[in-house]
Chains A and B, each alone.
Chain A
Amino acid sequence: MENNNNKNNSKDEKNKIKEILSQIRLTRKNFGWWIFGVFVAILFVGFVRTWFNPEAHYFDPILGIINLILLPFGHTIDSLDFRMEDILYGLASGAQLTFIVSMVSLIVGFFFALILAVILVNKSHLYGLKLIAQSYVDFFRSTPLLVQVLLVYYGFAESMGDVIRSLNIPMFSYEVFAGILALALNTAAYQAEIIRGGILAIPTGQTEAARALGLTSGQTMRYVILPQAIRIIVPPLTNELINVLLNSSLISAIGVRDLTKKSQSLQARFSLWEVFLISAVFYFVIAFSLSKITKRLEVKLRIPGLGVVND
């Protein structure tokens, strides 16, 4: 009996490996993923290089590949236009900061939003906590992000400014801190509403069944409601992810040297409007890749036997 089981297990494993292999084989269907994968791999190589060589820039390998492509035509990027290399390197470091800032804000905002959402769907008033959470969401959804960014930047300058500066973490200036904080506070409000919607979409029967089995309300939320809600909220959360990435351009107003700020200064330096075109391409590549990844997540999280398949 046990032997039989083992045999089945190894068979299952073999099938699984086969399945994975068939999925990653280069076909017309996953061609886009291959391009994307290679791109990410090159970026990764670039980042690894910067750890060992402080002089190196993560964008070096990509620029190298562009040069490789141009070489047969008798050109390098520098020979095409002497300003190009500066612009690409400048925008690349801006893009890096934009990416990091928006991802950190998004993740910090998500956990904050989770707490807010759980408070908001609660039936009781929770000693005024619910009112506070609701006011918070209302405030951050009804005021412009730029105002919030300025508010946080100037509001925390006295209390936090010197502390953050004295920490002396590379890339983490007081401006970056204020930018991340403002973006996280803002996105938390939107994400809270998204998560709340996801929780409310779960039929009450699920809660009833869980409570009738003796699970506490906390356990019901943790093991029954949230795991199902997370599947509903992935598509709207993707929207919010892209919103945060693109809205992060507003923190250039407080002097964070993100992609937008870099484009502005490079444009001023070279008097070249095309800089913004290239910067738009940078934004596009990041946003589009992220939406592709979350689409993948959506497919991964699907519950067998439920819902319409829409790939």
Chain B
Amino acid sequence: MTEQLKHDHKFADSPLIEVVDLCKSFKEFEAIKPPGVSLKIMPQEVLVIIGSSGSGKSTLLRCMNRLIEPTSGQVFFEGVEITDRTINIDEVRRNIGMVFQQFNLFLHLTVRQNIALPLKKVLNLSDEEIEKRIKTVLETVNLYDKVDNYPGELSGGQQQRVAIARVLAMRPKLIFFDEPTSALDPELTGEVLQVMKRLVSEFHYTLVIVTHEIPFAKEMATRVIFMDEGEIIYRGTPDVVFDKPPNDRLKKFLSKILEMG
């Protein structure tokens, strides 16, 4: 791909991420079945992926930043193929934030150090700039008073907000959320979802969210993908998916989830 084309991609209404025929199998188990998954993620889109556990949602997410190496297929980030083994994936990853189910804050570092570490070691920013960013992002998630606390001293909801702040400080072009509220009780879920809503409404971030929070998905999503047993079963807008699901498996899944909620 020529330099010129790459440039065009940035200006045109071109996808941030494009996935082509992506498959992944772990030894015997086919997490994402052939012929594979294809999708495009456009700028400022909020893409919600739903599906029961083991359906391949998290695998798909991790394949898109190569935390898991896909078995076959391609992933393009801003038109550059990142499944190519010769590219420097670390440079790509700094543009793709990821928030995990288990928060995964660095437990031996304070909140400040957690946010500062990648800024210093990956982006090589000055101490001044780092301190400025820490303040901004922690104020965004309303946690600046906890800047010198260790993750172990925070509640689950606070930890997840710090994790989001840590990602925001990198100023990524899009953020993946891998079941960000599944490890939280309903009370704490609210505060995390609130922060995510702010990311969309105020900062117009591009988000890819794997979640079981149906009301939240309904409100925030611009597009919904339903996965089951390693393939995409249905894709559509939230009002169609949630209000009048046209697919039997989707209907079954939704009724099961709403029953539990």
Contacts and interface: CB of A to CB of B under 8 A. Distances in A.
Contacts of B94: 213-214
A255 interface: no
B93 A212 contact: yes
B90 A304 contact: no
A223 B116 CA distance: 12
A302 B154 CA distance: 16
B161 to A, nearest CB: 15
A212 B175 CA distance: 11
Most buried by A among B65, B67, B121, B170: B121
B91 interface: yes
A227 B108 contact: yes
B88 to A, nearest CB: 9
Contacts of A305: 149-154
A211 B93 contact: yes
Q: Is the interface of A mostly helix, strand, loop or mixed?
A: helix
B240 interface: no
Interface string A182-220: 000000000000000000000101101111111110010
Contact of B121 (A209, A223, A228): A223
Most chain A beta-carbon contacts within 10 A, residue among B104, B105, B117, B118 = B104
A12 B151 CA distance: 22
A303 B107 contact: yes
Contacts of B102: 203, 205
B100 A214 contact: no
Interface in B112-160: 117-118, 121-122, 149-154
Interface in A215-242: 215-216, 219, 223-224, 227-228, 231
Given A213-B118, A213-B122, A215-B90, A208 B104 contact: yes
A213 B67 contact: no
Contacts of A227: 108
Determine the interface band of chain B, counting residues with CB < 8 A from chain A: 20 to 34
A214 B150 contact: no
Interface in B161-217: 163, 166-167, 170
Nearest to B117: A223
Given A214-B90, A303-B150, A228 B118 contact: no
Contact of A210 (B106, B149, B153): B106
Contacts of A224: 106, 117
B241 interface: no
B250 interface: no
Contacts of A213: 93-94, 97-98, 117-118, 122, 166-167, 170
A208 B122 CA distance: 15
Given A214-B122, A227-B108, A303-B107, A208 B170 contact: no
Given A203-B104, A212-B98, A215-B90, 6 more contacts: A209-B100, A216-B90, A219-B122, A223-B117, A227-B108, A305-B154
